[in-house]
Structure 1
Amino acid sequence: MAYPFLDHEIKRTFKGLPETLPCGSTVISGKVRDIIDLGDTLVISTSDRISAFDKVLSTIPCKGEVLNKVALHWFSRTDDIIPNHIIESVTPRTVAVRKCEMLPVEVVVRGYLTGSAWRDYKAGKSVSGIELPAGMQMNQRFETPLITPSTKAEQGLHDEPISSEEIIRQKLVDPGIWETVQKAAVDLFRRGTEDCVRQGLILVDTKYEFGILNGQVHLVDEVHTPDSSRFWFADSYEQQFKTGNGPHKLDKEYLRQWLIEKGFMGDGKAPDIPDEVRLETARRYVGAYEGITGTTFTPEAGKIDEVAAVNEYVKKQD
């Protein structure tokens, strides 16, 4: 599908907040997000920067707005399951959130045997300590979704799988809290699956992050976005699986595949990414937004001065 507005947006992609805002607040920049710490509150701005193979490579028009709005969609759809850290939307790319004490593990829920889980299974390994039955096929659906936690690696390193038993044994998370987290993860995945079915999609797997605020578990970071989740088109899955072909995907693998074809997988100098590749990646992000939410994407972020709006919000909090 064509999105004519992207031709205009590509010239004004939002690279991120400056290191210091005019009001004096210091900005901490990650690969994609910029964060302002206001004590009990964080202001999180999602830029248009895109990373692959743990390196920031370029910008993708509308990407930050898409990710922020998809996350807000799901936070709203799941706040009856578990409280989340959202306070309010500041701009189309920026939210104010409650600061939580982050748990030191990520929770990946998998509905299908694919990705790193398939690679481990094929190599004869367990999947985060879970022994799977023999004879399973790539992209096969699990009878019951698996909870496969991973450790949080420092920037530039890869997360490592860890079993629930090891999490408790190493005292990474309190047993009672971990029980709450696992139940919430299953319920969140069920809700996401049900909503995606109505949109003709399969929620294949996804990553959740949790934190503690006032002794209560909260859902934080992002939920069911194209960056944190894998989606397949439901109408073709069965036929593709039966014939041994890969499923039709709704994700950002296009850019990664383009980089691989250019011989780049993280080492050495990355190739320059031409505008036509950036635009195609943007079309896929926008298509993901519309496929996931069932609503038409209309860009709003380019109509405001992002830095000025965030600066004004931060000043009001003093």
Structure 2
Amino acid sequence: MEAPITSTDLKEFKKISTGKVRDLYDYNDTLLFVATDRISAFDVILSSGIPNKGRLLTQLSTFWFDKLFPIILSDGTHVGHHLLEKNVEKMGLPASAIDSLKDRTLQVKKCDIVKIEAIVRGYITGSAWSEYKKSGTVNGAPVKSGMQESEKFDHPLFTPSTKADQGDHDENISLEEYRKLIPQPLAKRIEEAAIKIYLSASEYASTKGIILADTKLEFGVDAQGNLLVVDEILTPDSSRFWPVAGYQVGKGVDSFDKQYVRDWLKSVGFDKNSPVGPVIPEDIVNKTADKYYEGYRMLTE
């Protein structure tokens, strides 16, 4: 298996930031969005990478960008995405950079980022299930009583969180808090767009034997004032995809994502406040790589 790429150093360009997975470079009036094979869990970047993960995430994002957009809202607003070019050979890059960037790089628009994670939940799982068990609420809002783990909501819930700096933890916030943080009509448009994207993607995924349990989206506003989806979209890193074949109400469902890594970290008593993640055993790396590829294959074939 090909060795994972966990860092990039494109000396021809100015590196703007290094995220959990992606490195961001300034490129003329645009940005280069480079997905490495880094993997994080519990908001900590681990010392090992997952081979080809960055390529799969990039190709899956472009698949959804092509399939779902534009999104037309009830007020007539068209919501687009930030992607300008996905073929590195058409980006006008130096030949020396093309091999290392191929299939894992997007050229995207510069945007003002909305400092909110727009999360849509179709099923009760994860932090929503943990909160519900304690208080009968999700993001502070009451939800019908008697729900079981992994049960489908009557309708998708928009459950935003803060967008924390790297190393910090995102915090779930109520709709009231969200609407105080984000001005209107932007707040309403993001909420509507996020739910429309979730519903469209969920309907498509169901035809492939996959349940889209929840997803996290990020938005930005470009220089012309257009609302755009930015970053990745509907990947195993930003969403929970469940196989229909393994779905059962009343218990947790294995996702096409890094659950193997999360489970291993829990088994070794990993400190979630640690600034550096450990090296992942090879068998866990391989199982995780296979899981990412399986989800990608089922969705795109």
Q: Distance in 2 between matches of 1:48 and 1:185?
A: 27
Larger Rg: 1
**Cα contact 2:216–2:238 (8 A) shared by 1:** yes
Q: Which amino acid aligns with 1:17?
A: T
Q: Distance in 1 between matches of 2:16 and 2:179?
A: 35
- Which residue matches 1:227? 237
The 5-angstrom pairing of residues 89-104 of structure 1 reads: 89=86, 90=88, 91-104=102-115
The alpha carbon displacement at 1:258 in A equals: 1.3
- Which residue matches 1:47? 36
Deviations 1:176-221 (A, max 9, x none): 1111111111110111111101110100000011111111211111
Q: Which amino acid aligns with 2:80?
A: P
Deviations 1:60-91 (A, max 9, x none): 11111011111111111111313100000122
Determine which structure has the larger helix proportion and give its number: 1
Q: 1:280 pairs with 283, 287, 301, which one?
A: 287
Q: Distance in 1 between matches of 2:56 and 2:243?
A: 19
- Which residue matches 1:61? 51
The alpha carbon displacement at 1:167 in A equals: 2.2
Q: Distance in 2 between matches of 1:32 and 1:74?
A: 19
Q: Which amino acid aligns with 1:120?
A: E
Classify 1:207/1:26 alpha carbon distance in 2 versus 1 (closer, same or farther; 3 Å).
closer
- Which residue matches 2:93? none
Give the match's secondary structure for 1:188.
helix
Q: Mean Cα displacement is larger for which, 106-115 or 257-266?
A: 257-266
Classify 1:60/1:126 alpha carbon distance in 2 versus 1 (closer, same or farther; 3 Å).
same
Q: Which amino acid aligns with 2:183?
A: D
Q: Which amino acid aligns with 1:253?
A: Q
Deviations 1:255-289 (A, max 9, x none): 11112112224355754323222122111111121
Segments of 5+ residues of structure 1 without an aligned counterpart are 1-6, 295-318
The 5-angstrom pairing of residues 101-120 of structure 1 reads: 101-120=112-131
- Which residue matches 2:192? 183
**Cα contact 2:22–2:36 (8 A) shared by 1:** yes
Q: Distance in 1 between matches of 2:5 and 2:254?
A: 30
Q: Which amino acid aligns with 2:107?
A: A
Q: Which amino acid aligns with 2:288?
A: T
- Which residue matches 2:94? none
Q: Mean Cα displacement is larger for which, 120-129 or 269-278?
A: 269-278
Q: Which amino acid aligns with 1:157?
A: D
- Which residue matches 1:304? none
Classify 1:271/1:159 alpha carbon distance in 2 versus 1 (closer, same or farther; 3 Å).
closer
Q: Distance in 2 between matches of 1:67 and 1:29?
A: 17
Give the match's secondary structure for 2:6.
coil
The alpha carbon displacement at 1:31 in A equals: 2.0
The alpha carbon displacement at 1:41 in A equals: 1.1
Q: Distance in 2 between matches of 1:270 and 1:173?
A: 34
Q: Which amino acid aligns with 1:174?
A: P
Match status 1:252 vs 2:258: yes
**Cα contact 2:217–2:233 (8 A) shared by 1:** yes
Segments of 5+ residues of structure 2 without an aligned counterpart are 72-78, 89-101
Q: TM-score, normalised by structure 2?
A: 0.86
Classify 1:36/1:103 alpha carbon distance in 2 versus 1 (closer, same or farther; 3 Å).
same
Q: Which amino acid aligns with 2:66?
A: S
- Which residue matches 2:207? 198
Give the match's secondary structure for 2:255.
coil
The alpha carbon displacement at 1:27 in A equals: 5.0
The 5-angstrom pairing of residues 290-309 of structure 1 reads: 290-294=297-301
**Cα contact 2:81–2:230 (8 A) shared by 1:** yes
The alpha carbon displacement at 1:22 in A equals: 3.4
Aligned length: 277
Identity rate of aligned residues, in percent?
Answer: 42
Give RMSD over aligned pairs: 1.8
**Cα contact 1:262–1:271 (8 A) shared by 2:** no
Q: Which amino acid aligns with 1:28?
A: S
Q: 1:86 pairs with 83, 86, 92, which one?
A: 83
Q: Distance in 2 between matches of 1:251 and 1:223?
A: 14
Q: TM-score, normalised by structure 1?
A: 0.82
